[in-house]
């Protein structure tokens, strides 16, 4: 099972903390993490294995959206910062729309991600 992880700059620390807190579930279910570039780098530094794509503004969101459309992704954890403006907003909207189109669970905050993680247990 592949889970995509993405976090805006102001939410990267929350993402890393969330993944560390749920490391045992991720390891026990043999989950493969894929991430946009900068988020992936932060997650790697925290000791987790992750496949990295481009940084979000450089096409990473679109790369993950393509995986969603191809049926490669089981769920997406995208910790968004709703108070900041993002130059790659069209890619973000496309990813979220494709999750809806393909019925892929999408958590945009830690509380929702925690519920999805509990569902994996």
- 9 catalytic per annotation: no
Calpha distance 13→27 (Å, rounded): 20
Tally Cβ neighbours within 10 Å of residue 44.
Answer: 15
Strand order from edge to edge, sheet including 106-107: 51-52, 32-35, 2-7, 75-79, 106-107
Closest CA to 66 of 54, 49, 84: 54
Active-site option among 9, 61, 91, 100: 61
Q: Sign of the C-alpha dihedral, residues 62, 26, 15, 118?
A: positive
Q: Which residues are catalytic?
A: 61
């Amino acid at each position: 099972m592949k889970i995509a992880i993405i976090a805006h700059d102001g939410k990267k620390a929350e993402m890393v903390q969330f993944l560390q807190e749920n490391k045992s579930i991720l390891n026990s279910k043999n989950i493969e993490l894929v991430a946009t570039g900068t988020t992936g780098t932060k997650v790697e530094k925290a000791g987790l294995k992750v496949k990295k794509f481009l940084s979000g503004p450089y096409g990473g969101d679109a790369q993950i959206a393509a995986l969603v459309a191809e049926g490669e992704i089981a769920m997406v954890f995208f910790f968004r910062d709703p108070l900041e403006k993002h130059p790659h907003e069209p890619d973000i909207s496309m990813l979220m729309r494709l999750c809806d189109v393909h019925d892929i669970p999408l958590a945009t905050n830690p509380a929702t991600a925690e519920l999805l993680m509990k569902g994996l247990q």
